Structure 1
Amino acid sequence: MTRPETYDVVISGAGLAGSAAAVLLARRGARVALLERRSDPEAYKVLCTHSLQASAYPVLNELGLVPALEEAGAVRNEGRWHTRWGWIEPRAAPGGPELPYGYNVRRSTLDPLIRSRAAQTPGVDLLTGHRVTGLVREDGRTVGVRVATPRGEEREIRARLVVGADGRDSAVARFAEVPTRRHENARFGYLAHFRGLPLHRGVSHAWFLEPDLAYAFPNDDGVTVVAVLPDKKRLPAFREDLEGSFYTSIRALPEAPPIDSAERVSKIVGMVDYPLISREPTAPGVALIGDAALTGDPAWGVGCGWALQSAQWLAQAVAPAVSGGRGDGGERDERDERSGQGGRGGRGRAELDRSLASYARTHRRRLRGHQMLAVDFAATARPFNPGERLMFAAAARDAAMARHLFLFGSRLIGPLRFLNPLALAKAALVNLRHRGRGAATPGSAGAAPR
């Protein structure tokens, strides 16, 4: 093995979370090794909702990607959602500001774009074809990684912080023995890409069919991602005729998109078993971001947004601790370069541990409540519970409640604010007022009572 190289941070995984973290950390002064097991810099994730929720817009803006996404044809993700009470169509309040938005963009466009941005950032070394095979540990903490190179050689890279951005089956998490909580998902899913598929108002559609789900998201280059997520009880029959079952499920949707007249430009690909994974986001010398820390339910399309947000939270928390210890000339003490501790030994480790604890608190505070609700919804593929019926029914009947639900669905507010007593009381009042009224016209804020 060659002499170990030393960085401030080594990141395993150059997808959304890893590339974003590399850019944000390097801009804050850290020297970053960004490892990607795939050799092709144009590689991308196939199974994805391809949606960046509005909660991730500030990260896209900090990364400087908004103009590039607009130029690439990414679609601002307005939406409408079908429920048993009718369509929920969030709109801006009269005279008020426009609703926040994110983007729908294919991962074949997004992944190479953000990876290229990382590779061009001073302080980031993108190392493709490098696979993490183990961790380097000293005194009970991680101080680097062992990797296999494209030539099959073994290489050791030391760093003050190792970041796992390597997905739900994270090798970093496994090697660091981070406890994993696995929550089974009682739904399966299949999706395909279509070109020339018109949608009402050209916006994203989601269908809550209780218990089954479906969505159609318009993306760049005129391509729409269409997916169905049925109860697993339907899986054996569904797989007997995969294409026929997929098309039949789409045709049966209320205001179904006309897929028979559109061009399918991809295979029908699926996720038969997609559990929700929750891990502690840190360990000594280790941080997890994106799906490595928390894998959400694909029904809600939160994964891309949370990947970007967790990368930003980590960079904000740890950058001073991992990039400090340099002299005025930007150099470190040679002994500390070899140890990977940045010139401050135990004091530097203590500062890093405090910053990791801060990141972990933010991660839990911002995402744990969302994940708990998602786990409950996915575990049995159940219909809406009484609280969900209350809120979704009100959102189909009242414009203000539709905006409130939109803020929660976009992860701009958390469960406590979404279900605060005032919101519940208003939802109950809206539903009482609509009791006994006739059916609403399609696409309106009202709906038939249930």
Structure 2
Amino acid sequence: MTAPEDRPYDVVISGASIAGCAAAVLLARRGVRVALLERRSDPAAYKVLCTHYLQPCAYPVLDRLGLVPALEKAGAVHNEARWYTRWGWIEPKAAPGEPRLPYAYNVRRSTLDPLIRAHAADTPGVDLLLGHNVTGLLREGGRVAGVKVNGPDGEREIRARLVIGADGKDSAVAKLAELPTRTHENQRFSYFAHFRNLPLKDGITHSWFLEPDVAYAMPNDDGVTIVAVIPDKKRLPAFREDLEGSFMQFVRDLPAAPDIDAAERITKITGTVNYPLQSRKPVGQGVALIGDAAVTGDPLWGVGCGWALESAQWLADAVGPAATGRGDLDGALLAYAKRHRRKLGGHQHLAADYATARPFNPFERLMFSAAARDDAMARHMHMFASRLIGPLRFLNPIALAKASAVNLRYRGAPAHLSHRAS
């Protein structure tokens, strides 16, 4: 970590978590001088409220960052998954003779955050400044030109061509820049806890779609499994009366439930009762947002970490040359905003609609039921759930026709008999 200097940077990034560290590394490799600010002083600090799930869409970014070997060494778990529905289990498997399905990792943030932060700090061109909190934005000629920070040595200003907000859903940078925000209420709440010695079939992630309630159990590094319950808010008053008892009973009542009573709970039950979805305009004059600062997704889908990495890469690719003064920065920011909207807008729209705690709509019933009965449809579902394809490709006419044909073939058959065709 380089000592702070009163010299201009090309880029200032607020937030040294997943998105901020990824952006810092990718930008510095392009010759950009980066001040990476983190309000917390502990280099091992990590986010607690998280699904600890890196979607397969994030694997190419992890590989590009050079983090895959370190994650494997740390014991991160390849995130294969199976999903319960009223039609039976959806269990995506590679086609015979084909390579395994795309994957990334289940890894606790207590492992991931210090790892990626150290990687950023060791990257030439990155100054990691711990204990620095952004308190204001500098402006010149109507555009953002740096930040005011409060750090260990008091107040200071850091000037840069571009300020990046990687400071989460309550982004100070976004608020100070007055970037427009759309908010969608989430009609579910969530609680989770960490367990040891919780056996799961095939040792892979389990998700339960109970319409409208949801739950999941995800094996992570060091033999720890994260169990989360995400019920309709109508159940919240009863949950609050006896949180531990309600949590445990919810898990016990799951179809083919894991034996949670035989496992050892190693953390308290933590959660949130109000976690709205937010979509902000990701750019302004001299400012850009990545990760949760730009789009805060529904925790139910576990997209936050993957989108943090992807958005960091999209921004670095767009603004790399311009951030050093060799190009049109405003044009580069608009290109990033367009890509961000194209890649994530459809996913966020569907998630916001499902966050109303409604049951499956007709398209979802068609696709989920077919995926529980047919291996090819299960693979198609996996590609969408992994955010490797968007809603339009997921619901393309060919896929809808195949799903209809699958369901017609097994009309009236019990789910356990209809599952699985190839």
* Fold shared by both chains (TM-score > 0.5): yes
Aligned match of 2:398: 422
Match of 1:358 among 310, 335, 338: 335
Amino acid at match of 1:445: R
Aligned to 2:420: 445
1:146-173 alpha-carbon deviations (Å, 9 max, x no partner) = 000124x111000000000000000000
Query: Which residue does the alignment assign to 1:375?
Result: 352
C-alpha distance in structure 1 between counterparts of 2:58 and 2:31, whole Å: 23
Q: One-letter code of the match for 2:406?
A: V
Q: Percent same amino acid among aligned pairs?
A: 73
Distance in 2 (alpha carbons) for counterparts of 1:439 and 1:205: 18
1:403 alignment partner AA: R
Equivalent in the alignment of 1:115: 117
Secondary structure at the aligned position of 1:95 is classed as: coil
In the TM superposition, what whole-angstrom CA distance separates every residue of 1:405-424 from its partner, at most 9, and x where no partner exists? 00000000000000001100
Q: How does 1:34-433 map to 2 (within 5 A)?
A: 34-151=36-153, 153-325=154-326, 351-378=328-355, 380-433=356-409
Contact 1:89–1:445 at 8 Å: present in 2 too?
Answer: no
Aligned partners of 1:143, 1:436: CA distance in 2, in Å? 64
How far is the alpha carbon of 1:439 from its aligned partner? 4.1
* Deviation (angstroms), 1:302: 0.3
Are the equivalent residues in 2 in contact too, given 1:5–1:156 (CA < 8 A)? no
Rounded to whole Å, the distance in 2 between the matches of 1:3 and 1:420 is 54
1:338 counterpart residue number: none
- Superposed displacement of residue 359, structure 1: 0.4
Q: C-alpha separation between the residues in 2 aligned to 1:245 and 1:425?
A: 42
Cα drift, residue 4 of structure 1 = 5.2
2: distance between equivalents of 1:242 and 1:250? 12
Residues in 1 aligned to 2:250 and 2:395: alpha-carbon distance in whole angstroms? 32
1:328: which partner in 2? Answer: none
Pairwise CA distance, 1:441: 5.5
- Matched residues in 2 for 1:194 and 1:98: separation? 28
Letter paired with 1:42: A
Q: Cα offset for 1:436?
A: 2.3
Q: Deviations over 1:252-275 (max 9, x none)?
A: 001111111111111100111000
Aligned residues: 418
Give the counterpart letter for 2:284 in structure 1: A
Deviation digits for residues 383-423 of structure 1 (CA, Å, limit 9, x no counterpart): 10000000000000000000000000000000000000110
CA contact (8 A) 2:85 2:368 kept: yes
Deviation of 1:438 (Å): 3.8
In structure 1, what is the Cα distance between the partners aligned to 2:310 and 2:288?
14
* Secondary structure, aligned partner of 1:94: coil
Return 5+ residue gaps in structure 1 as ranges: 326-347
Per-residue deviation, 1:323: 2.3
Aligned structure 1 segments of 4 or more residues deviating by more than 2 angstroms: 2-5, 436-439
**Higher mean C-alpha displacement, 254-263 vs 366-375:** 254-263
Residues of 1 paired with 2:225 and 2:414: CA distance? 34
Q: Alpha carbon RMSD of aligned pairs, Å? A: 1.3
The whole-number CA distance in structure 1 between the counterparts of 2:417 and 2:265 is 32
> In structure 2, do the counterparts of structure 1 residues 172 and 415 end up closer, same or farther at CA, with 3 Å as the change threshold?
same
Distance 1:308 1:445 in 2: 35
SS at match of 2:227: strand
Return the alpha-carbon distance in structure 2 between the equivalents of residues 439 and 304 of structure 1: 34
Contact 2:87 2:415 in 1 (8 A): no
Compare CA radii of gyration and give the structure with the larger one: 1
Aligned-partner Cα distance in 2 for 1:265–1:282 = 41
Letter in 2 for 1:61: D
- Equivalent position SS for 1:35: strand
Cα deviations by residue, 1:16-54 (Å, 9 ceiling, x for unpaired): 000000000001110000000000000000011101010
